[in-house]
């Protein structure tokens, strides 16, 4: 499967750093504009607005795909704002002090969207559609399908920036988009629950079992994709 070629192109390291710095400054300016409002509430407001923008855009893309191709690449969409507890834990893990500034600067997945697909081919198709949106800027990409984590985790991560138009300013706000199949999502959800119980220190035999399960999930995805392609070929021959 070919890597999608975005109209925007892949961001260089310099462009990625510049984009993140610009977004951080805009976020800080927005917080200062609402000095009479709790800073945390202002940040949550902006990230919620970004989720609405991205969520609507993805629903429209899905509807368009259904209209043109009579097929929905997205099974369902999940959105969430990271809890204050999770943000604090992550900052401590990074060795950073707990502050609004550090939260905006170092935590890229405060606003998260998860797209669940049927087949691995849908993942790259959706990534290309998202990357070609003129009002979304792709800041970085992590392809854990081609390069799975040591644990066996597989998914496709896009960090994008979406402009939030306020009454007197525009704030580019980060949203992490994760794209994965149903099988990948099933594995990742269980892996998260298991490691949460062990607080990240699961016995080695459990980690090995999870890696084996991840391989089984990968093989299942491959077989289901081939089966779907065979079904489509049969239908086309019958026409």
CA-based nearest residue to 23, from 140, 177, 167, 144: 140
Name the strand (E) or helix (H) holding 85.
helix 84-93
Taking 80 as the threshold, does the pLDDT of residue 15 lie above it? no
Nearest Cα neighbor of 85 from 64, 107, 63 is 107
Going by C-alpha positions, the residue among 96, 133, 95 that lies closest to residue 4 is 133
Q: What is the pTM of this model?
A: 0.82
pLDDT in tens, 190-227: 888 887 777 667 788 888 999 999 999 999 999 999 99
Of 121, 95, 101, 107, which is closest to residue 221 (Cα–Cα)? 121
Per-domain residue ranges for the chain?
A: 13-238
CATH architecture of 13-238: 2-Layer Sandwich (3.30)
Structure tokens at 154: 């597989």
Q: Rounded to the nearest 5°, which phi and psi values hold at 116?
A: -105, 125
List 53, 176, 229, 236, catalytic entry: 176
13 is catalytic: no
């Amino acid at each position: 499967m070919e890597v999608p070629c975005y109209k925007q192109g892949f961001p260089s390291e310099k462009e990625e750093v510049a984009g993140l710095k610009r977004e951080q400054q805009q976020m800080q300016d927005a917080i200062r504009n609402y000095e009479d409002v709790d800073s945390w509430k202002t940040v949550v407001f902006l990230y919620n607005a970004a989720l609405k923008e991205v969520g609507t855009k993805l629903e429209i893309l899905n509807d368009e795909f259904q209209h043109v191709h009579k097929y929905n690449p997205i099974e369902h969409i999940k959105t969430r704002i990271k809890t204050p507890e999770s943000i604090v834990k992550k900052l401590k893990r990074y060795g950073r002090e707990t502050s609004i500034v550090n939260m905006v600067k170092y935590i890229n997945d405060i606003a998260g969207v998860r797209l669940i697909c049927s087949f691995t081919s849908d993942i790259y198709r959706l990534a290309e559609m998202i990357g070609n949106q003129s009002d979304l800027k792709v800041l970085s990409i992590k392809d854990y399908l081609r390069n799975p984590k040591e644990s066996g985790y597989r998914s496709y991560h896009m960090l994008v920036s979406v402009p939030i138009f306020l009454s007197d300013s525009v704030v580019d706000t980060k949203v992490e988009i994760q794209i994965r199949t149903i099988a990948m999502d099933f594995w990742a959800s269980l892996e998260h629950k298991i490691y949460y119980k062990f607080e990240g220190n699961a016995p080695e035999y459990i980690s090995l079992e999870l890696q084996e399960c991840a391989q089984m999930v990968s093989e299942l995805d491959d077989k289901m994709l081939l089966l779907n392609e065979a079904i489509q070929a049969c239908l086309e021959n019958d026409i």
